Amino acid sequence: QQQVKQSPQSLIVQKGGISIINCAYENTAFDYFPWYQQFPGKGPALLIAIRPDVSEKKEGRFTISFNKSAKQFSLHIMDSQPGDSATYFCAASRRAGNTGKLIFGQGTTLQVKP
Amino acid sequence: GAVVSQHPSRVICKSGTSVKIECRSLDFQATTMFWYRQFPKQSLMLMATSNEGSKATYEQGVEKDKFLINHASLTLSTLTVTSAHPEDSSFYICSASGVAGGSYNEQFFGPGTRLTVL
């Protein structure tokens, strides 16, 4: 019940295309859903995050769509660029009685072809 | 955004020696710090959570006597890998969260430390 399942494992997109990565969770107590971007040999960096009281959040070319009833959320990267090539991780955590421990998905390696 | 540093960025040591990795929050007070390890092409695995001034809470399966964590101040946490062996070779990443470090639950990650045990 603590798992976060992420798909696909890898993704190849043409420059200018839309990259879509999906995550699903079981624990309905989760109330914070961030996405991280990680380049090889670097630590993850927060890209965008959402709380379950909204269904969508957009920041620049990055959008999170959240479906509370389906317990799913996804990351959409519009106008994908070669510089977006990285590994993306979704995560989930809950606030109440918790230190903010994140449960990570398995990761998606994105390659954007020029 | 908040900045977290790690030192060293890369370390190579002989089997049986101990290695200390430092994690610092540079511009905020980190009430909680987390230590992760990451194997190639895998996700981050949480090893332990530490709060300033108290003992770390280790995840199931992580040997607390092998991975010593100290969170002595609001800006510094250390991870010591004792009697390191080749199977401990991995990418170790810390993260920090705190009152001034961003919105609730937001963790800021360090750049990671590549440990190679020969």
Report helix, strand or coil for A1: coil
Question: Nearest by CB to B107, which of A41, A42, A102?
Answer: A102
Predicted confidence at residue A11, as pLDDT, reads: 97
Q: B18-37 as b/e, with b when 16 or more CB fall inside 10 Å?
A: ebebbbbbeebebbbbbbbb
Dmax (CA) of chain A: 46
Predicted confidence at residue B99, as pLDDT, reads: 62
Q: Is B10 exposed, middle or buried (0-12, 13-18, 19+ CB in 10 A)?
A: exposed
Specify whether the backbone of B61 is left (phi greater than 0), alpha (psi in -120 to 50) or beta: left
Whether residues B109 and A89 touch (CB distance < 8 A) is answered with: no
Give the contacts of A113 (CB within 8 A, at least 6 positions apart): A12, A13, A14, A15, A82
In this structure, chain A runs to a length of 114
**What's the start-to-end Cα distance of chain B, in Å?**
37
A45-88: per-residue pLDDT in tens? 999 999 888 999 999 999 999 999 999 999 999 999 999 999 99
What are the tokens at A81?
């660029």
Q: Is the distance from CB of B72 to CB of B59 less than 8 angstroms?
A: no
Whether residues A106 and B110 touch (CB distance < 8 A) is answered with: no
Min Cα distance A112 → chain B (Å) is: 18
Residues 8-47 of B with CB under 8 A from A: 32, 34, 41-44, 46
Give the residue among B78, B81, B57 at the shortest CA–CA distance from B69: B78
Q: B58-81 as b/e, with b when 16 or more CB fall inside 10 Å?
A: beeebeeeebbbebeebbbbbbeb
Predicted confidence at residue A68, as pLDDT, reads: 93
Split at pLDDT 50, 70, 90, the class of B118 is very high
Predicted confidence at residue A60, as pLDDT, reads: 96
Predicted confidence at residue B101, as pLDDT, reads: 47
A12-53: per-residue pLDDT in tens? 999 999 999 999 999 998 989 999 999 999 999 999 999 888
